[in-house]
Structure formats: C-alpha cells, structure tokens
Chain A
Amino acid sequence: MKGWTRIKSRCVPLDRHDVDTDQIIPARFLLTTDREGLASALFADWRDEAGLVLHDPRYAGARVLVAGRNFGCGSSREHAVWALQSFGFRAIVAPSFADIFRANAHACGLLPVTMDETAHATLVRAVTDHPKTEVDIDLERGEIWYADVEPISFDVDPFARDLLTSGRDALQYLLNETGAISEWEARHG
C-alpha cells in the first residue's frame, strides 16, 4: 500500500443515513475470490435510479464521498471498501461509521473522516450547491479545508493515521509481535 497525507478533490454528496454494506455492494457480487474489479458493483442496485448522484458528471473524478451517519452498517464484507476504492474513492466523510466498516477502511487505506453533524450539514450543502467545490484533506494535521470555511479538524486514531501515512500495514505490525505471541501461547498452553 502507498502512504499518503493529502487529498484534494471534489466530493460526491450521498445524503442518506444508515447506508448498509448490502447497498454499497449487493451480495451477488461477493462470489469472487478477487479484490479487484468491483467498481461496477458499487451501489449496483441504485445505478438505475434517475438522478443518482454518482452519475452526475459534475462530480466526475471525485475521490471523496460525503455520506450520512452510520455509514457502512450491516455485514462485515470488506468488499464494500474494495468497491469504493475501485470506483476511485480515497476518503469517506460522515457524521459516524459502523465499527466494522471503519476497521476495514483503515485496513485497506481508505480514510473514514468523522465530522460533527453541523459541519457535515454545511459541507453537504456546499458541495450540493457548488459541485466544483474542492476539499483538501490534510491527514497529518487532521484538518479539512474547503472554500472559505474555517478549517474543520477531525479525529483520526493516531495508530491508524500512522499506518495510512506510512503505507505500512497491520499484518506486518503483528508479525513483528511474534515473540510476544509465542510467549503468550507458552503461558496459556
């Protein structure tokens, strides 16, 4: 994985709460043994909807999704994160995320940004009214900048941020703990 510290991009506003992973990627796309190539499966059952914001050419190329609260609830399928990434998203901004989705996003280098409801509502309005608005996400400082709004700070778990910016992964971190793991196993039989 390649580390990163900043994203500058337009944002797609998906103004819906409790978007579950069955919507993000319906189960019929899970019969794969691969993690690539899931872009067309993203929100597959919504794609026919007229006016779906993902189709709006004004947001083409956006790498940030602005979603409603409790984003990614439901199943643990990491395919949801893979599909969002295949589509081109690097960060999701929402008032809250489901726990497993957040862990999966961190594991894959997709940044979940938790933003309080008021700031979030303002951002949704801004990118809806002015689709060309670009946000600048500074991961190291934990800040988002856009238009002439005061920078909005967000919390990232420092450990997760460290992995994201360095591009190191949790598996390697755990493998480095092998000594402690063996000791634990010896103690517990």
Chain B
Amino acid sequence: MSGHTLLDRIWDSHVVSERPGHPSVLYVDLHLVHEVTSPQAFAELHRRDLEVRRPTNTLATIDHAIPTVAGGLRNASAAARNQISTLEHNCARHGIELHGLESPEQGIVHVIGPELGRTQPGMTVVCGDSHTSTHGAFGCLAFGIGTSEVAQVLATQCLLRHRPQAMRVTIDGKLDEGVTAKDLALALIAKIGADGGRGFVIEYAGEAVRDLDMEGRMTLCNLSIEAGARGGLIAPDATTSAWLDGRLACPSGPEFDTAKERWESLRSDPAAEFSKEVRLDASRVEPWVTWGTQPAMGGPVDAPVPDPGELPASNRVAAEQAQRYMDVVPGRALVGVPVDTVFVGSCTNGRLGDLRAAARVLRRRQVAHRVRMVVVPGSRAVKRAAEAEGLDVVFREAGAEWREPGCSMCIAMNGDRIEAGAVCVSTSNRNFEGRQGRLGRTILASPLTAAASAVAGAVADPRPFLGEHA
C-alpha cells in the first residue's frame, strides 16, 4: 500500500534529474510573468545570448504598475510606462502571449491564469510573485520565485528545488452565514503564525474545504504564503472540473472527459503521512479582522485586541510595535474604529464572487460620508461579468469608485494608495507597515466585512447587513 501525498505525486512526475546532495531539477508547466519582476530576468537572458526555451509554457500580463483609472497609460508615471513597454518588447521578441493594455483578458496574473484555463490540475506553476500559491486551488504545485529564478525558468523551463515537506490542514464543519474563505484563512494564519508553514506545502482537506467554491479555494491557497508556506494545495474534485469546463485553454469534448478523470484521481493516498497536521473547526470561525502589521495578527471582529503582555514572550515586542503603528488599544475590539478608506480587490478577493459579496451589502445602501471606497475587479473578464449583472451600478450608486483591473491598492505602486495615518479596511493580503502607502494602516478583512465597514464608516461586523432591508 503506497502512502504518497498529492505533493509527492506532482513532484515526482516533474523531476527531470536528481543527484545526491543536489536540489532536483524540476520541470515547470506554466510560467506566469508580469512587468515588475521580469525585466532584469530578460536582461540576463539577453546578456548571455539565450532564448526563451518554451514560450508556449509562458503567459504574461500587466497588472502591478498599470493605472486603474480610465484613460490608460496617460495616468502612469514614466517609470511605470518604461516597465510596461519593456515587458511588451520582451514578449514580442520571444513570442510570449501577453495580455497587456490592448487585451480583453488583461488582469491580475493569478486571476487570469485560471480564468483562461491555463492553470490545470497536476501542473507545476511558478511566477515571480509570492501569491502564486493561489493556483494550488486547482491541485497544482505552485510557488513564487525571485527574478534570478525567473531567468532560469525562461531559459531552461526548469528550477532547482529541494522537495518541500507536506503539511495537512484539515478544516471540519461548516462556515456560518457571513463567514468566508478569507476569514477562514486569516484564522488559520493566526493559529499557526507568520512562519508556521515555513518549508511546507499545505494541503487543505476536510468538509469546509470541499464545500468551498473555486473562488474560495483560491482565496485560501492565495493566503498560504502569509503563513510562510511554499504553497497551498487542494485535491481536484468535481467542483474543480466543473469550473474548468469550457475554459479557453482546457480540453473539450471527449478529451475533457479524459482530463477530468485524470484530474479527479489526483489526491493523497489515505495512508499518506504528513510531516505536520493541523485541524480547524470552520463552524467556530467568525468574521475576522487584523489589528497588527502581519496577517497573523488578527482576531474575530468583535474580540478585544490582545494585550501584548499576555502574549507569548517571543511575540510581545512585535505586538507592541504593531499596535503602536496601527494606533489600536489593547482590550478594545476593532469594531467601531473609524475608517477612511475601503479597498475591495486584489488576487485574494478581486473575483466575481467577491464583488457580488460586497455588492450584496451595498445594495440600496450608501458608503458613509467620510469613507472613500475603491472597487477594483481582478481582471477585465471579471469586470465584464460584474457589469453584466449590474454590480457596477450598485457600487456607483452607493458612492464607491468602480475601477479598471489591476493590483492597485494591494501594493500601491501604480499611484493608488492611502494617505499617511489613514485607516483602510482592505480585502487584500498584506497589512505590513506602509504596504498601501507610507504610514498607512491596513486592516485585512473579507469583502463582506469591508463593504459593511464602508457603510458604517467604521470597522463593522457584516452579519447584521445580510438580512432583508428597505
């Protein structure tokens, strides 16, 4: 009886060569590229007179530096324009498919890979971006790499890696109404810590994971990196295949049935052993917000912010520093803390379901007077789908800004950012100091919580906003 994990299966089928004492040479099926972490990699190729080995295994987009206000590049800085045109030139020169300014499929790299059907179960997926873990939702071994490795993959379609260890997180029970995959992920990170996943790929299992739709699974895998994990992984099932059915790059007709059978057979053996096991009860997770400057520093929206003195000694100083930066008071809950900005978007929560959730709260309501709310769809396809069902109208009527797709305020390098000292409830993935703008304060939350906070003008529990109202 074999005891292979899903990670072993994908790993073993991609090892090109192995030598004792050396990392394995691992083949990469899909290499995603964007404008910020690739220019120096292409430059390295050109310096050494190398070609891109497999342009067809490579997919590029423009997302980080792109303006999200209408009018396109006119609103971009000279540096951003240079970075964007550099990628355009590099893709043209090497024959790489680019979804840039002119493409109807442009969007955040981790949104469009799955959308186009390029992300498929069993693949290895890499990108010069840490949230590549997102693609693990489809049963892919997916992880972020640095620019030197981007050059290696461009030139050889391979990477050098030691086999990561497998951790299993089993999430039993059912999520309550108003509690989402985002809350679940943040609760898990708080439980295992900012480096609790270091060295591991986390396989998510259990009833609550099976119950998640693909968007929720992507949110969960996306945030694996915030626990320090190399990647997240969910075994493909009927939900996965149904989501992929009909996608542009996926097989169709009888070939789809063959693929479906193969995809859904990808799983860990019942006897597989994991180096670390964690369990979580979904029914006990509540809408979650962060009070600190690490995604792991958070708690239920109405729970008091912890007193650093009562935390384990090793976390005390960091918690004190974070609370000073965030200007939060230990012993008091975040609910009711005034909010200046609300951001809905990013590769964590910028998909159609996320926009629907925010719109559900905003319908026939108004964003509070003092709050600026910005909604940024994750891709042009998401934007079209949202507009087809009138979500843009809901956002605009509520007083929110409806933008063009991109990373936007998740990383604040395209001009979209918050002011120094401002408090932002954000559906993105990092609340690090200054992440959304110098001296800005970020509170991570789900789209429901973000929208509820926009209406209340202060951090709010979304659950009272979900019932019928006039």
Query: Taking beta carbons and an 8 Å cutoff, which residues of A are in contact with B?
Result: 16-18, 20, 22-23, 26-28, 30-35, 45, 69-70, 73-79, 81, 96, 98-100, 103-104, 107-108, 157-159, 169-171, 173-175, 177-178, 180-181, 184-185, 188
Contact = CB atoms under 8 A, between A and B. Distances in A.
Contact of B27 (A26, A69, A169, A181): A181
B77 interface: yes
Given A32-B79, A33-B39, A177-B25, A171 B152 contact: yes
B228 A99 contact: yes
B203 to A, nearest CB: 17
B158 to A, nearest CB: 5
B274 to A, nearest CB: 18
B199 A171 contact: no
A187 B147 CA distance: 29
A159 B432 CA distance: 33
Contacts, number: 164
A33 B77 CA distance: 14
A12 B42 CA distance: 34
A27 B412 contact: yes
Given A76-B146, A98-B195, A103-B146, 6 more contacts: A27-B435, A31-B65, A45-B439, A76-B129, A159-B21, A171-B155
Nearest to B45: A171
B80 interface: yes
A157 B83 CA distance: 35
B195 A96 contact: yes
A34 to B, nearest CB: 7
B23 interface: yes
Given A73-B195, A103-B146, A184-B27, A23 B433 contact: yes
A159 B22 contact: yes
Contacts of A23: 432-434
B155 A181 contact: no
Nearest to B157: A181
B199 A99 contact: yes
B198 A177 contact: no
A162 B114 CA distance: 38
Given A31-B77, A78-B37, A181-B16, A170 B148 contact: yes
**Most interface-central of B64, B86, B143, B434 (chain A CB within 10 A):** B434
Interface of B: 16-17, 21-23, 25, 27, 36-37, 39-40, 43-44, 48, 50, 53, 64-65, 77, 79-80, 82-83, 86, 128-130, 143-149, 151-152, 155-160, 162, 194-195, 198-199, 228, 230, 294, 314, 317-318, 321, 411-413, 430, 432-435, 438-439
Contact of B194 (A18, A159, A181): A18
Contacts of B412: 27-28
7 contacts: A22-B435, A27-B411, A74-B430, A78-B147, A100-B145, A171-B44, A188-B27
A159 B23 contact: yes
B29 to A, nearest CB: 9
B331 to A, nearest CB: 23
A177 B434 contact: no
Contact of B80 (A31, A75, A76, A103): A31
A178 B64 CA distance: 33
B194 A73 contact: yes
A92 B124 CA distance: 31
B155 A96 contact: no
B152 to A, nearest CB: 5
Contacts of A76: 37, 128-130, 144-146
B146 A81 contact: yes
Contacts of B435: 22, 27
Given A69-B195, A78-B37, A181-B157, A107 B146 contact: yes
B228 A98 contact: yes
Contacts of A74: 130, 430, 432
A18 B294 contact: yes
Nearest to A170: B160
A26 to B, nearest CB: 6
A17 B128 contact: no
B16 A180 contact: yes
B14 to A, nearest CB: 8
A81 B36 CA distance: 15
**Most interface-central of B83, B144, B148 (chain A CB within 10 A):** B148
Contact of A181 (B43, B129, B156, B413): B156
Contacts of A169: 148
A30 B80 CA distance: 9
Contacts of A103: 145-146, 149
Given A18-B294, A76-B145, A175-B155, A100 B16 contact: no
B157 A75 contact: no
A108 B294 CA distance: 27
Contact of A31 (B21, B40, B144, B413): B413
Contacts of A78: 37, 40, 128, 146-148
Nearest to B417: A28
Contacts of A185: 27, 157
B420 to A, nearest CB: 11
Q: Which 4 A-B pairs have the closest CB atoms?
A: A107-B148, A104-B146, A33-B39, A78-B146
Given A28-B413, A181-B158, A70 B195 contact: yes
A171 B148 CA distance: 8
Contacts of A188: 27
